[in-house]
Each structure stands twice: as C-alpha cells, then as structure tokens.
Amino acid sequence: MSLFVTYDAQAYEYNLTGAGYGALVILMLLALIVPICLTGKKDRRMSTKQLVFCAIAMALGIVTSFIKFVDLPFGGSITLFSMFFICLIGYLYGPKIGLMTGVAYGILQLLIEPYIYAPLQLLLDYPLAFGALGLSGLFWKSRRGLAKGCVVGVIGRYVCHVISGYVFFASYAPEGMNPMVYTLGYNATYILPEMIATLVLISIPAVGNALNEVKRMARQ
C-alpha cells in the first residue's frame, strides 16, 4: 500500500503518492473507455458520442464544483449545480452509463481533493457516492424523469456520505450528540439545498426546453 499512499500520523490520514495518482488516472480512464470495447450487440455498446457527452458532463461538474456558496469545515459544499451534470448523463443514457460516469467522476474528485482515512471511507465518499448520482438513469424513460432521477441520485449520494460519516467521523460529533443524528444533519446541510436548487432550476420552462434539445442531440 505504501507504493500508492503514505500515512500522515499527525493528520490521521493517507496521502496519495505519484504512483497513487497515476493508478487513479488509469482507473478513471478505464471506467470511461472499457464500455466502448465491451463485446456484444453494437447497440448496447457505448458510442463515441456518448463518451463525449459523458466527458463534457464530468468537465462541467468539476468546474462548477469549484464554485462554492458554502464550504463546510469537515468536507462537503453547496456548489453551482455540480451534481446536476452527472445526473443528466443518467437521464440521457440510462443507469449503466450514468453509474459508470458517476464512478469516473468520483475518481476524478478524489484526484483533485483527496481525503483518505481508510479504504472503505475512500470507496464510500468518492466512487460509490458520486456513482450513486447515476441512479438518475433509472428514470430515463419516465415522464419528468430528470427530476425524479436527480432526487434518487442525490439521495443515493447522501446515504453513502452518511454511512461514511457515522463509521469514520463519529468523533467529530459535539459532545452529547448522537453520532448518527450529527452525520445525518451535517450531510443534509449541503446536499439537500443543492438538490432543491437543482429541482427549481430544471423546472424553469426555458431550462426545460434547452434540456429537451440536449436530449434530442444526445440520443440521435
């Protein structure tokens, strides 16, 4: 494990080495590229257009994740609709590509802002949490599917962070407060407001019309 990470005993966390960053880059690329090469029926493979849309969504997600309205001290922030772009991919192409894009995006977030305290915490807070945003794809053929998908995807991410917070960060709870109550409230303070803002955004008629055009282009 020392080849990919080093342990900081003072901060009680792991830091990625150069090899660790390289391994994550390879994993992220594999998450995006492998579906293109999967054998099977041609219409079930990931097309180049889908890959381009996924890459654009990830790029927009990263850029908007740096625009933070609230940045909490122990991780988590309210951003400029960064979760929306990953949920959108699930809505455009279904759960398989949505989950794949979410996992790749989670690895990219780990590369940019790594907070590693344990292997399970890394999985919960990055590939699993952001991958859960791809659950929006469960409603890709449903009426008002994007709104439904955003709710389910964001709740999926919330659950992953809550489990991580309870298992690994219970010591941060104020004295006398139940750790589960603390982690439920802490993660809700940044995830739920952004989810509500996203639902308001996509309910605007002009935005809805623009998204319908994006959907038409993506599925042609």
Express the helix, strand and coil content of the chain in percent, nearest 5 each. Answer: 70, 5, 20
Q: How far apart are CA 93 and CA 35, in angstroms?
A: 13
pLDDT of 26 reads 87
Report, in angstroms and rounded to the nearest whole number, the Rg of the chain calculated over CA atoms. 18
Mean pLDDT, residues 118-123 taken together: 91
7 pLDDT tier (thresholds 50, 70, 90): confident
Helix (H) or strand (E) holding 31: helix 18-37
Q: In angstroms, rounded to a whole number, what is the distance separating the alpha carbons of residues 104 and 117?
A: 20
Indicate left, alpha or beta for 12 from its phi (over 0: left) and psi (-120 to 50: alpha).
Answer: left
* More confident position, 133 or 47: 133
Please report the pLDDT score of residue 135 as a whole number. 96
pTM score over 0.85: yes
The β-bridge relationship of strands 68-71 and 13-16 is unpaired
Q: How confident is the model at residue 84 (pLDDT cuts 50, 70, 90)?
A: very high
Is the pLDDT assigned to residue 38 strictly greater than 60? no
pLDDT of residue 37: 62
- Conformation bin of residue 212: beta by default, left when phi > 0, alpha when psi is -120 to 50: alpha
Is pLDDT of 208 > 70?
Answer: yes
- Segment 157-206, tens digit of pLDDT: 999 999 999 999 888 899 989 999 999 999 999 999 999 999 999 999 99
Determine what percent of the chain is predicted with pLDDT higher than 90.
65
